[in-house]
Amino acid sequence: MTTLAIHNGRVIDPALGRDGIADVVIVDGRIARVGPNEGDMVVEAERIDATGLIVTPGFVDLHTHLREPGQEHKETIASGTLAAARGGYTTVCAMPNTQPPLDSRAAVESVLREAEISAVVRVLPIGTITRGRAGKELSPAGELANAGVVALSDDGDAVADPSLMRHALEYSTRFGLPIAQHCEDPSLVAGGHMHEGWVATRLGLRGRPASAEETFVARDIALAELAGAHLHICHVSTAGSVALIAAARARGAHVTAEVTPHHLTLTHEEVAFGADYQSARYITNAKVNPPLREEADLEALAIALRDGVIDCIATDHAPHSVADKEIEFDLASPGLTMLETSFGLCMKLVHDGRVPLPTLIERLTIGPVRAWGLDRRPGLEGIGTLAPGALGDVALLDPNADWTVDPSTFASRGRNTPLGGRELRGRVVATIFGGRLVHETDRVVAL
């Protein structure tokens, strides 16, 4: 029997409505007891002093690109899950735009096998909606469901054909799998490389208008209601999308949504100006799809996150090599490395008084779990909570620690972040997965 006792932290467990100083005791990889002085009751234990820290369930990311198989120069399951652990994440859902894409039992099983060997935290695979992500015919959803995928997505691209999308939604209901759509109309974003607005005009870059996302959000909500299916909107980025999602949910449609740390906190001005607002440049590390938007969008997204119109934060962690980014802007690969900066970046909303800390924790833990019903899956009971019997996944956080982002120290192979050199307030101090420390900083004090 191995016991880990986390003493005297402020335990925030939104699923159970707990917020107060308590000890967390993990026995044999599962939560045993949570309560004041519970740690003192156990005799032989490894002990961590969490005084002054926040103790929460491990974070759950519904949107991670691990790149393996096929693009191991960008990331591997080993490096990506270590990055996850550094970011407080104990569960990541792996997007299927690998090479080959995860559109068959064999491909999904290869990821699960590799995760078994090299993953630092839990990997839940996502299957493709269409075969080869080609947008032409449906992937074998039944086979994928049996192999263990938790959702279907062609992320990186939208399923553009409305009939095919309708059928994908209808067919998914047989297996209870959410269809996670990357909402951007390919025709409206063709040739576009950043948000359509004044910055794109200044840089002479063709834009991807907000309406390219909103028309697909509206269309896919209508199709999901027709199909009676579960539609999950990936990386919501515009105020218009938020309004459409809010209206759909008010009608009772089964629509869930995620937002990324970067879409919540960075605008399209990052592309040209970075942090310092000097003369214009072309910052490929701020290139992402959907693109970084405008101040008004950020505001609407923060309110939607606070109010629960958006269920959760997802990182869309998208590591790329230097060669993918040190290139003409039009040719640069879209995406940001995000797992290791997610919490610090999101904490900006808390420090600015726009989202209460317990709400933020909810959106990083039980929020994503409920959005996809992950806790109904065998072996995942209690995930995203610190309920007795739940998985021993815990994050220790210092919400007020200042640190400077240094991409060269990332566990991820991706260095593609516009945040290099920037100071963030809020840090993951330690991560515990299945009762084992998988990430710790010098702030962790053993007792």
Partner 1 sequence: MTAEVARTPQSTVETPEWNHQHILDLDDFSVAEIETVLSLADRMREVLDRRIPRVPALRGYTVVNLFFEPSTRTRASFELAGKVLGADVLSVTASTSSVTKGESLIDTVRTLRAMRTDAIVMRHSMSGAPYLAAAHTEASIINAGDGSHAHPTQALLDLYTMRSRIGDLRGKRVVMVGDISHSRVARSDMWGLAAMGADVVVCGPPTLLPRGLRAGDRPAHAESAMPPVTVETDIDRALDGADVVMALRLQSERQDGGLLPSLHEYAQLYQVTQERLKRAKPNHLLMHPGPKNEGVEIAGTVAAGRNSIIEEQVTNGVAVRMALLYLLSGRTEAPGGVPGGEMRS
Cite the active site residues.
Answer: 316
192 contributes a contact to partner 1 by CB under 8 A = no
Cβ closest to partner 1, residue 44 vs residue 328: 328
Out of 101, 178, 192, 207, the residue judged to bind partner 1 by CB under 8 A: 207
196 contributes a contact to partner 1 by CB under 8 A = yes
Out of 239, 332, 355, 386, the residue judged to bind partner 1 by CB under 8 A: 332
CB of 228 to partner 1, least distance (A): 37
Stretch that binds partner 1, among 151-159, 279-287, 303-311, 435-443 (CB under 8 A): 279-287
Stretch that binds partner 1, among 6-14, 81-89, 319-327, 341-349 (CB under 8 A): 319-327
CA distance 199 to 394: 41
Out of 169, 200, 224, 236, the residue judged to bind partner 1 by CB under 8 A: 200
199 contributes a contact to partner 1 by CB under 8 A = yes
Type of residue found at 156:
G
331 contributes a contact to partner 1 by CB under 8 A = yes
Q: Are 148 and 171 in contact (CB under 8 A)?
A: no
Cβ closest to partner 1, residue 196 vs residue 316: 196
Q: Are 77 and 66 in contact (CB under 8 A)?
A: yes
Stretch that binds partner 1, among 16-24, 113-121, 160-168, 191-199 (CB under 8 A): 191-199
Q: How many CB atoms lie within 10 A of CB 43?
A: 6
Out of 39, 197, 274, 407, the residue judged to bind partner 1 by CB under 8 A: 197
281 contributes a contact to partner 1 by CB under 8 A = yes
Of 293, 288, 291, nearest to 335 by C-alpha is 288
CA distance 94 to 205: 31
73 contributes a contact to partner 1 by CB under 8 A = no
* 400-406 long-range contacts, CB within 8 A, separation 24+: 400/425, 400/426, 401/425, 401/426, 401/427, 401/429, 401/443, 403/344, 403/427, 405/341, 405/344
Cβ closest to partner 1, residue 4 vs residue 194: 194
Instruction: Name 409's Cβ contacts closer than 8 Å, sequence gap at least 6.
Output: none
106 contributes a contact to partner 1 by CB under 8 A = no
Give the torsion sign (CA, 435, 440, 444, 446). positive
CA distance 441 to 447: 15
DSSP-derived pairing of the beta strands 255-259 and 445-446: unpaired
269 contributes a contact to partner 1 by CB under 8 A = yes
Of 21, 88, 10, nearest to 53 by C-alpha is 10
Out of 163, 250, 276, 279, the residue judged to bind partner 1 by CB under 8 A: 279
Out of 4, 83, 141, 203, the residue judged to bind partner 1 by CB under 8 A: 203
328 contributes a contact to partner 1 by CB under 8 A = yes
Instruction: Name 268's Cβ contacts closer than 8 Å, sequence gap at least 6.
Output: 194, 195, 197, 199, 200, 291, 292, 293, 294
CB of 272 to partner 1, least distance (A): 8
Out of 17, 204, 353, 379, the residue judged to bind partner 1 by CB under 8 A: 204
CA distance 349 to 264: 8
**Residues near partner 1 (CB under 8 A):** 196-207, 269, 279-282, 294-295, 323, 326-332
